[in-house]
Chains A and B, each alone.
Chain A
Amino acid sequence: MKAIIDKEKCVACGECVEVCPVEAIEIVDEMAQVDDNCTLCGLCVDACAYEAIGLPQVQTAETDDLESYKGVWVVAEHHNGAVHSVSFELLGVGRKLADKLKVELVAVLIGDQLQEGAKKLIGYGADRVYLAQHPALVPFNDESHANVLTELVKKKKPEIILAGATAMGRSFIPRVAVAVETGLTADCTGLDIGDDGLLYQTRPAFGGNVMATILCPRRRPQMATVRPMVMKKPDFDSERQGAVENFAPSQKAITSRVKVLETFTQEQETMRITEADIVVTGGRGLQKAENFKILEEIALLLDGAVGATRSVVDEGWMPHSHQVGQTGKTVSPKLYIACGVSGAIQHVVGMQGSEIIVAVNKDPSAPIFDVVNYGVVADLFEFLPALVKKIKEQRS
C-alpha cells in the first residue's frame, strides 16, 4: 500500500518529491507517482497545497465485540500514594468524553494504601475508582502493574483508557495495549468523540511539525496517553461522591519477573521541566555553569523550572534531565523563556507546544525568533537582572 494521488488535483508541482524522506515520489508525465518505497508516513499529505494526496484506509472486519465495552477510564499515576497531577488533568478531559458518550468516568489505582488517593480522584471527577491493592504492588513495577491492569480491562471491558505519558505511563501502558490486543496512541494533545462515537485522537508527529488524527476503529478499548500539562486540570470538589470498588488481582498478576531492587528520588530545588507552568531555559549564551544561578533564581521566583539546550548539557553545565528537545524532553508549559538559545530545530521541536514563547538573544537574526510570541533582542546578562528587579519591585 502507498499514498494515493488524486489525478484530478495533482498539478505536478513537486512539493511532495521534496518532502518524501524515502524518495518514493517522482513526477512522471506531469503527475506525481508513488513507488513501493512509500512507508505511508504522511509527510507528503500535509505538504501538498492542492490536497491531492491521501493515505489509504483499510476496511477490515471488526475483530471484537465492540458494543460490550463501556466507560471511560483514567489510569491514575501515583508516587508513594500521592496522585500525580496528570491524572487529575486526564479526569478533566475524561469527564467530557464520558458525558458525550453518557457513560461512567472511572479512575484506576494500582498499588497499596491508596484510599486517600481514591478520594482525591473522586473530587476531581471520577464516578468510580477501582482500587487494586496488594503489598507486592509496591514499589511500582512495570510487569505486575501491566498484568493487573490487563486483568482488570479483560474483566470490566472499558471503551476508552487514558493514561499519562510520563516515564511510568510510557513504560507500562504499551505492554497492556499489546496484552489486550488493541491500539494505543501516544502523546495526544486533542481528544474528542466523533459523530460515529469513536475517539478522535490528535497528536503531533515528526517533532510537532505535523499533526495527525488517529482512530482505533476495530478494537477495544481505545487507548491513549497524554503528556502532563497538556490538558486543563478540573476544579476540585471535596463534596463530590463516588464509588470505591476493590479489585483483587490474581497471584499470577502480582508476580513480576523483574525485581525492583532500589529506587532513588533525586531531590531538586526547582520544579521538573515537564511539570512546571513556567520553564526558563538557558543555552550556550549563558557561557558557563555558574551563570545558571541566574536562571535558577528566576525559576524559584516564578515557581518554574530550569531547562537547558543540548549544547549546555554536553558542556556539563546542567544535567541531562533538564534538556529540552529532540534528544531531551518535550515540554509544553504556559510560558517558555529561552535565554541565549539559538533555536536549532532539534531544540524547537521540544518546546513549540508551549503556550507562550519568549526569547532573549543578542543576535536579532537568531532562528529562535521565528517561533516566539515575544522576542527580546538584548544581552541576557543585562536583561534578566532587569526583569528580576521589576518582578521583585511589583511584589513588594
Chain B
Amino acid sequence: MHVVVCIKQVPDAKNVRIDPETCTLVRQGVESIVNPHDWYAVEAALRFRDEYGGKVTALTMGPPQAEEALRETLALGVDEAVLLSDRAFAGADTWATSLTLARAIEKLGPVDLIICGKQAIDGDTAQVGPGLAAHLDRPYTTYARRLELLNEGQLRAERVTDLGYEVVQMELPAVVTVVREIGDPRMPGLKHKMKAKKKEIPVLGAAELDLNPEEVGLQGSYTQVVKVFSPPPRCDREMINGEVEEQAEKLLKLLQEAKVPGL
C-alpha cells in the first residue's frame, strides 16, 4: 500500500488576540504550524500502513520553509516526504492547489490512498480533498473516522455526517479526508527523529510537474482576493454587576430588548 498524506503549513492563530482597550486585533510574531487537522491525516496514514503494510509519503505545497512541516511528519514515522515549492505557486486558490497536488501525486508512481485533513485552519475551505479527487478522477469520501481495507482493494470508511454517521465503500485508489475521531496522533520517536533530520526531501517546482506557470499559483486561480480587511470589532462590552439575582434579571432584560428569539 502506498499512502500519500497531504499536509499544509498554516499561520498559528495563537498569537492573535483582541486588545479590549483599543478594540483592535493584535497579531504578534505569527508563527507557522502544521494545520492541526492534518495531524489526524498523518495518524490515519500511519495506522493504515502499520496495519496493511507499505509506505507513507507526506506531500505539501508551500514556501521553502514548509520543509520543516514535512520533517515533523517524518519524526512520527512517515517514510518519504516531497515538497512542492516554486515562486509561481504563491497565491494558489483551492483549484490551483488541488491541481498542483494532483499532478504531483501522479508523478509519485502508483498511489493507493490519498489522505487529507478535514480542512485547513487558515482558509477553512475543506475544498482541496474533494478537488483532488475530481482532478484525479478517483472516488472519495470526507469526514472519515474509521478506515478499513477489505479484500480485493476495497476501502470501507465510516464517516461523520451532520445527522450521525454512515458507512461507505469504494475501490482503491481513493481519496479520503479524516476527522479527529480517527485517533490521537502519536508522539515522535527517537529513532524516527534522527532519521527525520537527515532525510533527503525532494523539492519539485512547476516545471518538474509539467505545469505551466499560468496554470498554478495566483495566475492559475479562478478566484481572486480583491480586498482584505479586519472584521468590525466588538466594542460594546457591558459588564453586568450586582448580586447573582440582579445579574440574572439585568441580563434577561438586555437579551429581551435585543429580541433574542425564544426569550
Contacts and interface: CB of A to CB of B under 8 A. Distances in A.
Interface string A175-206: 10111011111110000000000001000111
A81 interface: no
Contact of A46 (B94, B95, B229): B229
Contact of B180 (A56, A171, A320, A358): A320
Interface in A336-383: 345-346, 349, 352, 356-358, 367, 369-379, 382-383
Interface stretch (A66-74, A115-123, A128-136, A264-272): A264-272
B94 A383 contact: no
Contacts of B88: 1
A23 B28 CA distance: 12
Interface band, chain A: 35 or more
A262 B37 CA distance: 26
Contacts of A139: 166
Contact of A175 (B18, B130, B227): B130
B162 A375 contact: no
Interface band, chain B: 35 or more
Given A213-B225, A373-B236, A345 B91 contact: no
A284 interface: no
Contacts of B140: 142-143, 175, 258
Contacts, number: 323
A389 interface: yes
Contacts of B62: 39
B263 A209 contact: no
Interface of A is mostly: mixed
Interface in B157-182: 160-171, 180-181
Given A357-B234, A373-B236, 9 more contacts: A22-B63, A58-B224, A205-B123, A213-B228, A218-B222, A278-B260, A326-B121, A327-B36, A375-B237
Interface of A: 1-2, 18-24, 36-43, 45-47, 55-58, 60, 79, 139, 142-143, 146, 166-168, 170-172, 174-175, 177-179, 181-187, 200, 204-219, 256-266, 272, 274, 277-278, 302-304, 320-321, 326-327, 330, 334-335, 345-346, 349, 352, 356-358, 367, 369-379, 382-383, 386-387, 389-391, 394
